[in-house]
Structure 1
Amino acid sequence: MFARPRKQRRSDVNERIKKIHSAIADKLLSHPELFEHAEQTLEARYQNKMMRYGSYLMWKGIIEARDEPAVFKALLLADDERTANLRRETIFTGILSEEERAAIFAG
């Protein structure tokens, strides 16, 4: 067995995280009341200095696009490095159940 280069492993992880966020986006858009939990998480993390202002603004912008589903998904699932890093510290914790998360990778 060979070790994959670090860049390839990071890319694989980013793709897995992106896949999860795609499912999160679908669930949020079909259950808009769940956005309240994400907004509370965002505010708490920022107030507790667990997040920089730039990340706070990016998350805020993504959430504010929720009334335009295509824009919301495009912002959340963007392929740029900054957004990929943002998804690694997601504010959308607890949106998917463990069963939903497992189903994403089972099928």
Structure 2
Amino acid sequence: MSVRPRKQKRSEVNARILKIHEAIAQKVVNQPELLGQVHQTLEQRYKNKLMRYGSYMLWQSILETFDNPELFKSLLLSDDERTANLRRETIFIGVLSEDERQQVLSGLKG
């Protein structure tokens, strides 16, 4: 049994989450009607105090760039620590089917 340092484990989880969000970003750009449920999730979480104001505003600012797909993807997939932490509590739940999610994750195994 190998023990990985916490930082390495966190980095690996962040890499998986990033790959999932790459697929999410592409799907949402291709199917903009999915944004309705994303906005609803954001508002619900904030209303129910499951999200801090700073996170709410960051998600809002990302969603506001949707009309510029490259900027939207760039912000959603940013590699800074704040955005990586934000993706860990994504508002894009239900965008990918379980099969799509598994397909993305299986592509990471080499």
TM-score, reference length from structure 2: 0.95
**In structure 2, distance between residues paired with 1:106 and 1:56:** 31
Q: Structure 1: how far apart are the matches of 2:20 and 2:106?
A: 12
Amino acid in the other structure paired with 1:61? S
The CA RMSD over aligned residues, in Å, is 0.7
Work out the number of aligned pairs and report it.
107
1:8 match: 8
Separation (CA, whole Å) in 1 of partners of 2:77 and 2:106? 21
Match of 1:61 in 2: 61
Give 1:105 shift: 2.0
Identity level (%)? 63
> Taking structure 1 as the reference length, what is the TM-score of the superposition?
0.98
Distance apart, 1:106 and its partner CA? 2.2
1:43 corresponds to? 43
Are 1:104 and 2:69 counterparts?
no
Query: Which 5+ residue runs of structure 2 have no aligned equivalent?
Result: none
Deviations 1:22-77 (A, max 9, x none): 00000000000100100000000000100000000000011111110110001000
Equivalent residue of 1:67, what SS? coil
- List, as ranges, runs of 4+ consecutive aligned residues in structure 1 with deviation greater than 4 Å: none
Letter of the 2:26 partner, please give it: D
